[in-house]
Amino acid sequence: MSVEGNAPIIALAFKTAQGSLRTARFLFDSGGGAIILSKGLAKNLGLKAKGAILSEDGQQYQEVYPTTAFVDEMPVDLRSSKAFVYMGAGSFIHDRDKVEGMLPGKALQHYQIVLDYSQHRFSIGEAGSLPHQGEKLPCPYVASSGHPRLDVVIDGIKYGFLLDTGTQITLMRDDVLKQWSEAPSRLASQHRSCRSSERGGRSGRRFSSEGSSLSTWIVHREGRGRRIKAKRNLQRHHV
């Protein structure tokens, strides 16, 4: 596993129609909803189309029947997951070199995985087969969406976060940011003292989860409302 742009990149191997193995780099996205593949990879694997081409935000995707992948020699069954081929030109993942797909965490919900950012190591096994190391934190699985949830304490108040390994930022709801700006707290004073720029003000803030902390917050105004973004600092935490 490599860590590029704060996101984990893993290697998966697939059997082609000719029986050979085809290896491809995937961005592991715990917050993703479906497997996304490049056209070249889908063609090499001979994946069969399923239904009509779909359009989303001006981009086109073809649903396909996924297949089994291999991590080293371990088979990983992806056939129950949704999979789409990006039909546009160029890379569908910005700032990622030679990445041919996105693998959502929900595709591995029947397995046990470990992402070790500091050692750049991805481990996968059958459920219950990998020993736990470090401090255990509550991280319930949201069955309706297939995403993991993490409870984070900010200024003494607990908030629910979607744990998303595929993004470089942390997003907050606009109503939460409004509460912070109006509250008589350190968060409010930091928010009001933000410096202006073309992309909005910026300020620093740390947040904690069961004694651990991450940083830094960036306040950013956008057309659809204000959001808070946070640079990840996961390499210090064996996630």
**Mean pLDDT for the chain overall:** 76
For residue range 61-95, list pLDDT tens digits in order: 999 999 999 999 899 999 999 999 998 776 666 55
pLDDT tens column, 101-112 = 999 988 998 899
Contact predicate 84/132, CB 8 Å: no
CA geometry: angle 172, 121, 166, nearest 5 deg: 25
Lookup: tokens for 20: 């050979």
Beta carbons within 8 Å of 178's beta carbon, 6+ residues apart: 226
Is the confidence at residue 234, as pLDDT, over 50? no
pTM comes to 0.72
Domains and CATH numbers, the chain: 2-126 (2.40.70.10), 141-236 (no CATH)
Cα-flanking dihedrals φ and ψ of residue 168, to 5°?
A: -95, 0
